[in-house]
Amino acid sequence: MELRPVDAVDVTTLVDNSSDVLLPDVGPVRRWGPAGSAGPLPIVPSDLAVGFRTVDLLRAEHGFSVLIEVRVGETTHRVLYDAGATPDGLMANLDRLAISPDGIEAIVFSHGHFDHVIGLQGLARRLGSRHLPILVHPDFWTRRRIVGPDGAFELPTPSRAAIEGAGFVVVDNRRPSFLLDGMLLVTGRIARTTEYETGMPGHQAHRHGRWRPDPLIHDDQAVVLHLRDRGLVVLTGCGHAGLINILEHAERLTGVGRLHAVLGGFHLRDGPIVPRTVTALAAADPAVVVPAHCTSWKAQHALFTALPDAFHPNAVGSRFEFRTSPQPDTAAQGRNGVPDRP
């Protein structure tokens, strides 16, 4: 599948498990807050502060959402990938970041777990009926639960009727599909080829009247872009398909053998899968690695150890700016790219 190269890709984290207002700009990432240049802290009222005002901060939650901005020439397109866990979390962080959702052209969901979906509720209230397309795998609507030693927790299930009733246009597809005139690829169902990425133990789906094992979560899909002369930029929501499976699938689909950046939930927790995944990722030699959401601190430590120059911690408000030409290191720069005084 020929994926049209693009001139620039910007990825802004709207929902993630981490919020850190003191992270600085480094390399391709600009941070939100006093230590970065992506945007200032908003001022809000407070009865307990002198002058009756304080600063507002971005909220972290167990979920994931990013805004993808793609530029070719003078034209920029915007796509939302996932929507976070709580009804108002996504929209509240968009407001804090002073990002209007009006320019969003489409929404892609990585899979049907609620911590990637429910923030759509607040977005729907703000936008009204815009008939925005929403791309999902058909298994997105499956009823699911997680079974552990303490019992079963049934996950909130997305409602197709409610989402369509809110004015969205649902597009179901198991196969790969394109958005933005062939510039953004949605992988569809990802081939499981590695023998060590075996899915999520204890995950079940309700099919044909009863609960059945569902470790592979086949609706898990990634987003892929081709940054001209640099390679693939791959975004994962949770990475249930396995990070290496996802990257190999993206290469097979596009024929592009160079990986520039991978960002998102890697679903790496503990056990033998972590070192094997890290070793395989290091062999791919990406320029940027951004583990987020469901990536444990052990896995993050292993990724940093193996890929210290590529590794960047994620936090809500981080804006990763990928360009076709190398960028100057922003660590020695002040706000808006102006060098600090010595």
pLDDT over 90 (residue 205)? yes
Q: How far apart are CA 113 and CA 327, in angstroms?
A: 36
Mean pLDDT of 289-297: 97
Mean pLDDT of 291-297: 97
Overall pTM > 0.75: yes
pLDDT over 90 (residue 221)? yes
Mean pLDDT of 60-88: 97
Q: Enumerate residues 6+ apart whose C-beta is below 8 A from 60.
A: 16, 17, 18, 19, 315, 316
Q: Enumerate residues 6+ apart whose C-beta is below 8 A from 46.
A: 52, 53, 54
Mean pLDDT of 172-176: 96
pLDDT at 139: 97
Length of the chain as a residue count:
342
Q: pLDDT > 90: what percent of the chain?
A: 93
| Tens digit of each residue's pLDDT (9 = 90 or more) over 272-286 | 999 999 999 999 999
User: Structural domains in the chain?
Assistant: 5-197+219-324 (3.60.15.10)
pLDDT at 1: 81
